Amino acid sequence: MTATAPPVGEPDRTQPRNTPASPAAARLLRLLPAAVAALCGVLLYVSFPPRTLWWLALPAFAGLGWALRGRGWKAGLGLGYLFGLGFLLPLLVWTGVEVGPGPWLALAAIEAVFVALVGAGVAVVSRLPGRPLWAAALWTAGEAARARAPFEGFPWGKIAFGQADGLFLPLAAVGGTPVLGFAVVLCGFGLHEAVRAAVRARRTGRIRRSAAAAALLSVAVPVLGALAARPLVSSEAEDGTATVAVIQGNVPRAGLDFNAQRRAVLDYHARETERLAAEVRAGKADRPDFVLWPENSSDIDPFANADARAVIDRAARAIGAPISVGAVVERDGKLLNEQILWDPAKGPVDTYDKRQIQPFGEYLPLRSLIGAINDEWTSMVSQDFSRGTEPGVFTMAGTEVGLVTCYEAAFDWAVRSEVTDGAQLISVPSNNATFDRSEMTYQQLAMSRVRAVEHSRTVTVPVTSGVSAIIMPDGRITQKTGMFVADSLVQEVPLRSSQTPATRLGVAPEIVLVLVAAGGLGWAVAAGVRGRRAGGV
């Protein structure tokens, strides 16, 4: 009688196992994969900003590969969920800074479901040849789903966003965040296979050439690809330069209630702009070609409030340059999170309305259901914001400036649309005051660094309370502010108009990787069906 391989997706019980010394040892051994999965999730979190330990993502995925290899899909589902919780619970803790732990725990628990599904898929493909490829593609497919659902998605925590300081960053210019993240995960799973092959060779004295080659390629190809992509990363000016001023006015105090102090926030940003204007007149600072204010720098509608309009007019005339003002406005019965192009002579001349608005922050899904559970939540978002429909590219002193408002920076399409619409520079006006001194501002800053390389554009990040920054097209931060201080950044920056492969390809690399994941999963399922049929004969 010949032994048959176990069906793909079912645990392998044909191999001899050592009998544990005691029942207690047996229980510990059974718990070991769960502990490894959860701890590797925490390790992945530690690889994210504000820390610069990007390389920890590799052993995190290597450990996950060890925990999932050879397991059934149900075990993979559970282990994947533990990995997801270990990663997302600490990563997203800032979401509960002002509203308590309930929303934070719910968000992490829901987002971890996507990681659990990926874990089930990775377990199923873990017996296929070239398993790191299928596993990494499945992770990319999971991120693609998480970026689109529920409530139009939540891409926070994409692997690419933890790689702003890493070796693999140039791959963002090749295929955007999907290719960058895929390379990191592929290398991590390949690292597990390489260690496993080395241990096996040492124990048996034999090398399985196909397995060793697959492991080597899984590690080497992402590294070599990143090195080959470095020429795509450049900070050379193509369309001359512009001198930009980024204003951080600060807020009276942190927390959700800062919106009750709307006039103070506006006054702070106008005051910092006027202070900069005085330095320019005194020869202590370069004269900016244009000025960028953050999101919510005027929560008083300047179209409806003469006092707010006068404050902004005065600041624009003082600096003698156009200003992009972040405002909350009401127009035709709609509430809009808007950037307003404010000319020092003409006043408001153009607008951009935020398109990717934040669920539970700027609009409330399932309002009636949530109100029945807790009416305090509905009062916090008493009126839903409306969405813009068009890209926002302002012509400011001859420079095409693309606007990506805060939360939008996490979405691939929202950033790319500004570049394909002609942006020579990207601005990411944000308001992080709600999240106090949490890691949120550093996580978002890392996103902007990845976007700079992805599209080869200077990126400015004006924030109400910090950290504001100027980022070169190669991802380097050249200036930044502290948190909860009033400050301004002035710098001559390169302007670029060429498009990277990532910009030109758009969503195509992600679609290809999703199809690869589907192909690997289909192969594994078909192989499992054949194995079960053969075993039943």
Residues carrying an active site annotation: 295, 354, 406
Contacts 24+ apart (CB under 8 A), 194-197: 194/218, 194/219, 195/62, 196/66, 196/69
Which one, of 92, 97, 101, 83, lies nearest residue 142 by Cα? 83
Cα Dmax for the chain: 93
Amino acid identity for residue 280 in this structure:
V
The runs of H, that is alpha helices, within 147-171 are none
Query: Hey, what's the torsion of the CAs at 244, 464, 484, 471, to 10 degrees?
Result: -40
Say how many C-beta atoms besides its own lie within 10 A of residue 386's C-beta: 19
DSSP string for residues in 347-373: EEEEEEE-SSPPBTTTB-TTHHHHHHH
Crossing angle, helix 508-536 and helix 131-146, to 10 degrees? 120
Query: Is residue 338 classed as helix, strand or coil in its secondary structure?
Result: strand
CB 56 within 8 A of CB 72: no
Say how many C-beta atoms besides its own lie within 10 A of residue 248's C-beta: 30
Distances (CA, A) of 269 to 9, 361, 459, 512: 58, 23, 20, 45
In angstroms, the first-to-last Cα distance of the chain is 12
Distances (CA, A) of 2 to 11, 14, 534, 535: 19, 12, 11, 10
d(CA 418, CA 237) in angstroms, rounded, equals: 19
